[in-house]
Amino acid sequence: MENLSQEKWVSQIEEDKDAVIIDVRTEDEVAEGIIENAIHIDIHGGQDFIDKLEALDKSKNFYVYCRSGNRSGQACSIMVQLGFVRAYNLEGGILEWEGNLVDLD
Domains observed in the chain: 2-96 (3.40.250.10)
Q: For residues 21 and 33, what is the distance between their CA atoms, to the nearest angstrom?
A: 14
Residue-wise pLDDT tens digits, 35-71 = 999 999 999 999 999 999 999 999 999 999 999 999 9
Sheet holding 2-4, edge to edge: 2-4, 86-90, 61-65, 19-23, 39-40
Residue 12 DSSP code = H
**Rounded average pLDDT over 21-31:** 96
pTM of the predicted protein model: 0.95
Q: 1, 66, 75, 90: which one is catalytic?
A: 66
Q: For residue 66, indicate whether it is catalytic.
A: yes
Q: For residues 38 and 24, what is the distance between their CA atoms, to the nearest angstrom?
A: 10
